[in-house]
Structure 1
Amino acid sequence: MSTDRGGVAGFRLTGRTWADDLGVWSSAVAADGRPGSALRFDPRLVADPAARERLVAAVLADRRLAQSGMTGLVPVADLITARDEVWLITSTPAGPTVGDLLSPGSPGSPRPDAGSAATVLVETAQALLAVHASGLAHGELHPGTVVIAPDGSALLAERGLADALFGRPPAPERDVVAWASLARGLAATWASADRGAAELLERAAATASIRGLAPARDALLAGRDVLPSGFTTRDRLVETLHRWPAHEAPAPGGYPAPARSAPDEGEIVTLLHVPRAGDPRVPGTGERRGSEEVVMRFGPGVPSETTAAQLWRAGRDQQRTEPPSGALGAGVAHHARRGRGRTILASVILALMVVGALALWLFRGPATPLEVTKVDISAPKKTQGCDTTVKITGVLSTNGAGGEVSYQWKRSDRKQPITQTDSVPSGAASHEVSLEWTVKGEGSFKGTATLVLLSPLPEGEKLQDRATFTYKCS
């Protein structure tokens, strides 16, 4: 499709559309020229009020992730409803996706290479690890939900939306399986011309299936020597984006495209602030008194950036009324003056509160960095039998701050150490790591595993611990 179709929530729909399992995406542009996207959900998926509530919860969870500093998701600007339609608005484009770039391009267009594949896999693994650490999951990871940003970085789109609409609980293990499948697919396509790189991606997929995403990501980083030189700078992905044709697709066959172009702005209501039942409405607005949660209508004249703060200000301004005319009695005029005085006083107090909060924010101390104070390691005390996998467990005691830890496992049967990096969520006083050591064949064997902390390491100190197990098979 290639015709302009009006606007929604301050964004102009530019006419480029593509479909997926959840509905129809449209490219969009904000009034200030910033590009974005709008997803009109399949009406059948949002017909159930419970599904809508779960959808709102998923979007709000994404906003909390963004507020915590996570940058691996396509940012959501708003979730709105108009009549029977529900739209998700993103403040950056939701395309092109990896699925788009896997499709044949124009003759002469550069294809992403093995380095591009590794970039996508490392960044999606890192984003998924952060999502999982928050107790959430993506739920529908595939090439069509991995977006390539203009700078070549990989962002996850539609996080949690499918699970919300279909009523599924978060399942991080399903994300791991999907990531491994993505790695194998990229090994067979973008990395097919480079045998060494393709084998690296295949190993990362196998590692994810057996040990998880963090070791798989580390395996990719450790094997960067076999990747193209532009791997760390995303050069090939950026070049591909500059020359790749616009992605277009027809509306899905399962349900018809809307007869009209876009909902009337005056009918739009944000779903990100849901009122409690029984709260009285403020006449002439969509706001309810007596609740911190509000629904705000917006239409012509509302600023194009549809952040919650701007909508709140717009709704507040619309509530102002003209002062009583001189024809009213003196008593009414007196009460009006008192009301204006209270309004001025409240405005002054609010301004002082804002200034105070800003001062606290500006002069706040730096965030406490992650510190590891102790390393402990344990191995099974019982003698291990024939052809077994021994699990060695290590515990890193921390100060409760969030961050990344790097460490090495050293095994007595090999010279090359195993280096790993984990993300540690804040609030936990310890972080558990593990090593699986497989021993096969007849004979006796005594294995020693050493866990060495690489960072963050107290200056001048060395933190490590070791444990030993016995293997016997006759």
Structure 2
Amino acid sequence: MREGATVAGHRLTGRTRRSEVGTWADAVSPDGRPSGALLFDPPAVATAGARERLVATVGADVRLQSGGPIGLLPVIDLVAARDEVWLITTRATPAVADLMAAGRLDPGGAATVLLETAQALLTVHAAGAAHGALHAGTIVIGEDGSVLLAERGLLRALRGEHASAEQDVAAWAALAGALAANCGQGHAAAALRRASAAAAHGLAAARDTLLAERDAFPGVGREGLARAAHGLSAPTSPDLPIGPAAGVAAGSSGGEAVTLLDLPGAADGPGDVMMRFGPGVPTETTAAQIWRAGQTSAAITATQTRGPAPRRRRRRSTAWAGTLLLAILIAAVILWLRQTPGAPLAVSDVDVKAPKKTVRCDGQADFVGVVTTNGEAGSIRYLWIRSDGRKPLEGEQRTSSGDTSVDLPLHWKVTGSGSFKGTATLRVLSPTTSGKPIQDKASFTYKC
């Protein structure tokens, strides 16, 4: 990426790293603070559906963080500049993967990463959300040594998939195993492996396992991580070009970028993002409606290639662009007011599928509950009930408009010798077409 280019007022430094969804760049905010800019891969945001899901996911992060820090990388804005889409955050480097590659993550740092990641995931899951792509590359270290989850839900949203808490737990266990291998042999590595195994009983159990063996991790805490991360940044990748639109339009006098979040005024600092929710407010932001209608490029002025324009002409162009944008916003609101509200989400059927083959010693039974809906957007509240008497697993799954089938997985781990028949019941609490909970169940056989 071209050093010195700006995105929504954030100046890129030229230091970048690749991601599953695009390219991260270190940047400097207008007030001089470190920030991060994620340029999404163009094919990933090529469809209107992908862009709408992206707006919804980033908007959900803003809501999750509105009550205070919860372990997510703070979002500053989501902007479109011509055909480019950028997520602006606080600083997004270094990642845990960078520390591991540089040999700067000691056992204390590894334990801190796992403890804070587990706590952040527990908070996210309690809010009915999930990460969906957790690994060492999507966990970053703040300047104070805090551990922050980056790219929450982005990969799944762009692919039209649903992230689940079960996927996060499995990913956390895999991360613990990788960090244990990174620590070599000894007491600390063994403790990390035990925490990885304990994740089969949930993240709270895994976290408590680590806390119980705190003595195995000298230097645990944020101070050690802050020292390890200090001075370590992403490598420079000059071969990754930045497009002309974002290089000039997003924050310089040559043009303007359109925010895809509902930002009524300038933010006072990173994370100071305001959104509108509640009765009478459309579920999409106005910017998202304009984007879906294919009018984003009309709201962005052409890039100036012959140097800066005279001050009077620049003001006239800016005023004209502002008037045009205001007219488009008013038209979008009028169109929305004339539309008949869509039907609410409703579940009409539940079908639970269990493993056909017998589960063998210390194996896992993977259930899938297929929920049929009317294709509207909303949230499904459900319970997974196991016949072994364990506490029912309560969850909430958001759906996007057009999704008529939603998969809700359940992973049942069985250990020990003997024979066992297990039955899992998926009960959808709401919303249903009848107004009453509906359910289905299936069974598997275990032999060891």
Conservation of the 8 A alpha-carbon contact between 1:30 and 1:36: yes
> What is the rounded CA distance, in whole Å, between the counterparts of 1:66 and 1:123 in structure 2?
16
- Change in Cα spacing, 1:394 to 1:79, as seen in structure 2 (3 Å) is closer
Q: Within 5 Å, which residues of 2 pair with 1:422-437?
A: none
AA aligned opposite 2:128: G
One-letter amino acid of the structure 2 residue matched with residue 237 of structure 1 = L
Distance 1:251 1:54 in 2: 31
Equivalent residue, structure 1, for 2:184: 192
Higher relative contact order (CA 8 A, sep 6+): 2
Does 1:214 find its partner at 2:204? yes
Question: Does structure 1 conserve the Cα–Cα contact (< 8 Å) formed by 2:10 and 2:30?
Answer: yes
Contact 1:19 1:252 in 2 (8 A): no
Residue identity (%): 51
- Distance change (3 Å), C-alpha of 1:34 and 1:5: same
Secondary structure of 2:56 counterpart: helix
Task: Map 1:16-415; keep pairs closer than 5 Å.
Answer: 16-90=15-89, 92-104=90-102, 111-189=104-182, 191-192=183-184, 195-208=186-199, 210-228=200-218, 230-231=219-220, 233-244=221-232, 246-250=233-237, 258=243, 262-265=247-250, 266-273=255-262, 293-295=285-287
1:166 Cα deviation (Å)?
0.2
What is the one-letter code of the residue matched to 1:202? Answer: R
Letter in 2 for 1:234: R
Greater gyration radius: 1
Amino acid at match of 2:111: A
- Cα distance in 2 between the residues matched to 1:152 and 1:146: 12
RMSD value, Cα? 3.3
SS of 1:179 mapped into structure 2: helix
Whether the aligned pair in 2 keeps the contact of 1:19 and 1:250 (CA below 8 Å) is no
CA distance in 2, matches of 1:291, 1:224: 48
Deviation of the 1:390 alpha carbon: 10
TM-score w.r.t. the length of structure 2 is 0.58
**What SS does the aligned partner of 2:161 have?**
coil
Deviation at 1:136, TM superposition (A): 1.1
Cα distance per residue 1:298-318 (max 9 Å; x no partner): 99xxxxxxxxxxxxxx99xx7
Q: 1:438 to 1:192 in 2, by over 3 A?
A: closer
8 A contact 2:3–2:13 mirrored in 1: yes
Give the CA deviation at 1:4.
2.2
Aligned residue for 2:65, secondary structure, equals helix
1:19–1:251: structure 2 CA closer, same or farther, 3 Å change rule? farther
Q: Which runs of 5+ in 2 are unaligned?
A: 264-279, 291-298, 302-317, 324-361, 363-385, 393-412, 419-448
CA contact (8 A) 2:81 2:300 kept: no
Aligned equivalents of 1:438, 1:48: Cα separation in 2: 45
Judged with a 3 Å threshold, the aligned counterparts in structure 2 of structure 1 residues 174 and 103 are, in CA distance, closer, same or farther, namely same
Stretches of structure 1 lacking an aligned partner (at least 5 in a row): 106-110, 275-289, 300-313, 320-386, 396-435, 442-474
CA apart distance, 1:83: 1.1
Give me the whole-angstrom Cα distance separating, in 1, the residues matched to 2:14 and 2:162. 35
Give the stretch that moved more between structures: 138-147 or 3-12.
3-12
The runs of 4+ residues in structure 1 deviating greater than 2 Å are 68-71, 233-236, 249-253, 256-261, 290-299, 389-395, 436-441
Residues 137 and 390 (structure 1), Cα distance of their counterparts in 2 relative to 1, 3 Å cut: closer
Q: Deviations over 1:26-70 (max 9, x none)?
A: 111112111101111000000100000000000010001001334
Paired residues, number: 288
Measure, in 2, the Cα distance between the counterparts of 1:144 and 1:9: 25
- Work out the CA distance in 2 between the residues paired with 1:26 and 1:156: 17
